[in-house]
Structure 1
Amino acid sequence: MKLRFLAAALGATAALPFGAANATDLEVTHWWTSGGEAAAVAELAKAFDATGNKWVDGAIAGSGGTARPIMISRITGGDPMGATQFNHGRQAEELVQAGLMRDLTDIATQENWKEIVKPSSLLDSCTIEGKIYCAPVNIHSWQWLWLSNAAFKKAGVEVPKNWDEFVAAAPALEKAGIVPLAVGGQPWQANGAFDVLMVAIAGKDTFEKVFAEKDAEVAAGPEIAKVFKAADDARRMSKGTNVQDWNQATNMVITGKAGGQIMGDWAQGEFQLAGQKAGVDYTCLPGLGVNEVISTGGDAFYFPLIEDEEKSKAQGVLASTLLKPETQVAFNLKKGSLPVRGDVDLAAANDCMKKGLDILAKGNVIQGTDQLLSADSQKQKEDLFSEFFANHSMTPEDAQKRFADIIASAD
């Protein structure tokens, strides 16, 4: 053990959870690499380091789709990290079932997570056969349309108040040399945009019939046909984006090169980093301004089983630290997400975060598709919508038929 860690630990022993007097380095893997995300994850590292331990950052460039296979390969290959990010839902289900993940039930019980984590579906997503295997850190919602006020001013049209007005404004944006809708080339972005369109246009009940109940008849029906018509509009409006990463697409909105972007609330971190102010420089429309519903997806940390006793103790300290009120506030204000605790003060929240908090308080929430579908079914959706957005010769009717087939066999 390094002396500087020992000195820090001895000075803070009384404040450390679970008797973590023996401080240690702990590698934490995640895919938070954009500017806004890096600022947010630094708050988690700062909080953990304050316990006398050391956060060893294991950032993996790219999206979750790039990072997860690497994380899983390390865990199954016998080279586990100390902790790793996954999204809320079923992404780590097989790892838990294989006995490769640490049971956090004792920590969750001691710290009363069931009472403080809201909504309860977040902790439910961490629970398998009655045991809790992850620590949720935020609520991320996909259902947002981010608009550049400067782009619409340049195009000579009012900032839209809903999806239909946005579609109607597209010709004016194009005439002004502005891409109406920025959609990056990674498959998960097109997939997420479709899910947002579904709940906005078809409504919450239809969304849940398709993804929660796996109703293939509804998936093949007229309500979903309207969604595919909107997705057809979206891919037409996104032509010319020519970027891959989501934060590059967000930057197009920040710089006025694009009129808008359908993206989760993590985009707020990029606007904040660029010094832009919600309601002044950019506008946010939850539920695309049609149905103000947000999903309660987001991120959680899992802790692979490791033999090193000191690292195992540090895992417990980190799990506890992630749920501390001060950690929750500092991290989520930078990340643009909402805290998983319902008892923290977010007086510093911006206009868009306050909209999200209001929707959450009203209970207008859905579970994300990562929570409702297996990783395999989600991958099939991603492949379909990646192809649909890239291949304009695929008709909405053909895409809907393939979508219905995916839902029919979904688990």
Structure 2
Amino acid sequence: MKKLAVAVSLATALLGSTAVYAADVEVVHWWTSGGEQAAAKVFAEEFNKTGDTWVDGAIALGETARATVMQRALGGDPPDVAQFNPGRQYEELIQAGLLLDLTPLAEKEGWDKFIRPKATADKCHIDGKWWCVPTNIHSQQWAWISNAAFEKAGITEIPTDIDGLVASLPALKKAGVIPIAVGGDGGGWQITLLANALFLNILGAEKREAVLKDLDTKVAAGPEVTKVFETIRALSEYSDEGAANRNWNDTTALVLNDRAGFQIMGDWAHGEFALAGKVAGKDYTCALGPSKKPYISLGGDIFVFFKQNDPEVERAQLSLASMMVSPEVQVKFNLAKGSLPIRSDVDMSAADACMQIGIPLLDDPSRVVPSDSTWRTEAFQQQENALYSDIWFNKDLSIADAQARFVDMIANAN
């Protein structure tokens, strides 16, 4: 009886401990599409297993979510955790002293030893301290192609570069499908993403960096940028009337339902195809670039952890940070998200044909480039959205005038 009493007392103490050391953690993110929700669910379920609780704060559209977080943080009521993009806004949070320093956890777990490539770690490891958790590697410049739509158009060999896709537009239109699917919601970020893919393919990595990072107005006024803008205009002639306010995942649905030929979108679209049960190589083709010699841009999601007054919340924040980079969760999450893991020491044998295109490129420094968002302010991104949307939708805007406007943007970017 004494042993039973001790056991009961111990169990009661443990239960009491669980109750005392459980915390609700509010996580703000913009993963609202079907595929994104499936990926977020991985994090939520794995975190809830620890005894703490993921309180979901999904807000549609990245710009809106970031603006909401910034407003709350600067107003003294930040969420516990928030999804962010590397860039100027995130750096402002560091400078304002609002973020929890993750350095002790990162050094204990050796993040600098397993997070790859170094540029991915560098987004969070700034001036010797860790300020965020990178969860995945996203590359923006992919083409998602409906095999059935191209077959309907009589095109038996799927093009995987931008010139081949542009050449296929008339045949796709004649076949009665939407040649290129695009959406204009959120101020036009989808068209900006397409434009940035063209910048990388047409200018190459060096000249792209000269324009977007070094703000070289001579390159901005040059013939390669002219070709970028001409290609945007050429593609725009083969979109559909529903493009203006359509979100990205509804645009992706046009391709996976074979109503459109192709979409240029980041690899988060991959999760939509997976969720729909579509098979890469059979139902659809994925082309990185789209280019014959593709680059992989190091975009990706990061999570920041805001300072809180409750030590139990801080403990739970650190628990979540540790879980996000753990090997098992990295595999589960990235298979659902369609992105690449930040670790090289995980088993990605279950990765499909699209993911297998990107994985080896991470080990080739000549094919890895920074995400353009690393260099841009939020204000400049809004200017880009407006310019590229005008090229797409406003046929009265000449290419020459559009490029002059771009040169002026570059000249005054800072």
Normalised by the length of structure 2, the TM-score is 0.92
What is the CA–CA distance in structure 2 between the aligned matches of 1:285 and 1:10, rounded to whole Å?
53
Q: Deviation digits for residues 144-197 of structure 1, max 9, x if unmatched? A: 111000111112223223221211111111112211111111211111110001
CA contact (8 A) 1:87 1:300 kept: yes
Q: How does 1:311-322 map to 2 (within 5 A)?
A: 311-322=313-324
Shift of residue 131, structure 1, vs aligned partner: 2.3
CA contact (8 A) 2:288 2:294 kept: yes
Shift of residue 46, structure 1, vs aligned partner: 1.4
- Residue type of the alignment partner of 1:264: G
What is the CA–CA distance in structure 1 between the aligned matches of 2:171 and 2:324, rounded to whole Å?
46
CA contact (8 A) 1:9 1:52 kept: no
CA contact (8 A) 1:200 1:290 kept: no
Structure 2 equivalent of residue 410 of structure 1: 413
CA contact (8 A) 1:179 1:241 kept: no
CA contact (8 A) 1:85 1:302 kept: yes
Shift of residue 341, structure 1, vs aligned partner: 1.1
Shift of residue 9, structure 1, vs aligned partner: 11
Q: How does 1:125-204 map to 2 (within 5 A)?
A: 125-158=123-156, 159-186=158-185, 187-204=188-205
Q: Deviation digits for residues 59-80 of structure 1, max 9, x if unmatched? A: 112x101221112111112221
User: Per the alignment, in what secondary structure is the counterpart of residue 312 of structure 1?
Assistant: helix
Name which of 339, 342, 361 aligns with 1:340.
342
User: Per the alignment, in what secondary structure is the counterpart of residue 303 of structure 2?
Assistant: strand
- Residue type of the alignment partner of 2:208: F
2:213 is equivalent to residue 215 of structure 1: no
User: Per the alignment, in what secondary structure is the counterpart of residue 349 of structure 1?
Assistant: coil
- Residue type of the alignment partner of 1:350: D
Assess, with a 3 A threshold, how the Cα gap between structure 1 residues 325 and 21 changes in structure 2: closer, same or farther.
farther
Q: Which has the larger radius of gyration?
A: 2
User: Per the alignment, in what secondary structure is the counterpart of residue 301 of structure 1?
Assistant: strand
Percent identity between matched residues is 48
Shift of residue 21, structure 1, vs aligned partner: 7.8
Deviates more, 1:156-165 or 1:274-283: 156-165
2:79 is equivalent to residue 81 of structure 1: yes
Assess, with a 3 A threshold, how the Cα gap between structure 1 residues 90 and 127 changes in structure 2: closer, same or farther.
farther
Shift of residue 90, structure 1, vs aligned partner: 3.0
What is the CA–CA distance in structure 2 between the aligned matches of 1:80 and 1:65, rounded to whole Å?
17
Shift of residue 129, structure 1, vs aligned partner: 3.7
Structure 1 equivalent of residue 6 of structure 2: none
- Residue type of the alignment partner of 1:222: P
Q: How does 1:239-318 map to 2 (within 5 A)?
A: 239-242=240-243, 243-318=245-320
Assess, with a 3 A threshold, how the Cα gap between structure 1 residues 130 and 377 changes in structure 2: closer, same or farther.
farther
CA contact (8 A) 2:134 2:303 kept: yes
2:98 is equivalent to residue 100 of structure 1: yes
CA contact (8 A) 1:88 1:122 kept: no
What is the CA–CA distance in structure 2 between the aligned matches of 1:10 and 1:190, rounded to whole Å?
54
Q: Deviation digits for residues 104-141 of structure 1, max 9, x if unmatched? A: 11211111111111111122122444322100000000
CA contact (8 A) 1:196 1:287 kept: yes
Q: Deviation digits for residues 222-273 of structure 1, max 9, x if unmatched? A: 1211111211112222243435110011000011111000000111100011
Deviates more, 1:79-88 or 1:120-129: 120-129
Structure 2 equivalent of residue 354 of structure 1: 356
Structure 1 equivalent of residue 36 of structure 2: 37
What is the CA–CA distance in structure 2 between the aligned matches of 1:132 and 1:408, rounded to whole Å?
33
RMSD over aligned Cα, in angstroms? 2.1
User: Per the alignment, in what secondary structure is the counterpart of residue 94 of structure 2?
Assistant: helix
2:239 is equivalent to residue 238 of structure 1: yes
- Residue type of the alignment partner of 1:178: V
- Residue type of the alignment partner of 1:194: A
CA contact (8 A) 2:229 2:391 kept: no
The size of the alignment, in residue pairs, is: 399
Shift of residue 360, structure 1, vs aligned partner: 1.6
Shift of residue 410, structure 1, vs aligned partner: 2.2
User: Per the alignment, in what secondary structure is the counterpart of residue 406 of structure 1?
Assistant: helix
CA contact (8 A) 2:172 2:178 kept: yes
- Residue type of the alignment partner of 2:287: L
What is the CA–CA distance in structure 2 between the aligned matches of 1:168 and 1:241, rounded to whole Å?
23
- Residue type of the alignment partner of 1:82: D
Assess, with a 3 A threshold, how the Cα gap between structure 1 residues 371 and 9 changes in structure 2: closer, same or farther.
farther
User: Per the alignment, in what secondary structure is the counterpart of residue 58 of structure 1?
Assistant: strand
Deviates more, 1:20-29 or 1:193-202: 20-29
Structure 1 equivalent of residue 230 of structure 2: 229
Shift of residue 333, structure 1, vs aligned partner: 0.3
Shift of residue 207, structure 1, vs aligned partner: 1.0
Deviates more, 1:29-38 or 1:123-132: 123-132
- Residue type of the alignment partner of 1:152: F
Shift of residue 27, structure 1, vs aligned partner: 0.8
CA contact (8 A) 2:146 2:285 kept: yes
What is the CA–CA distance in structure 1 between the aligned matches of 2:331 and 2:170, rounded to whole Å?
41
CA contact (8 A) 1:141 1:265 kept: yes
Structure 2 equivalent of residue 124 of structure 1: 122
CA contact (8 A) 1:182 1:241 kept: no
2:94 is equivalent to residue 91 of structure 1: no
What is the CA–CA distance in structure 2 between the aligned matches of 1:358 and 1:335, rounded to whole Å?
18
Q: Which runs of 5+ in 1 are unaligned?
A: 1-6
- Residue type of the alignment partner of 2:103: T
CA contact (8 A) 1:142 1:263 kept: yes
Shift of residue 92, structure 1, vs aligned partner: 1.4
Structure 1 equivalent of residue 401 of structure 2: 398
What is the CA–CA distance in structure 2 between the aligned matches of 1:30 and 1:220, rounded to whole Å?
37
What is the CA–CA distance in structure 2 between the aligned matches of 1:144 and 1:21, rounded to whole Å?
47
CA contact (8 A) 2:105 2:318 kept: yes
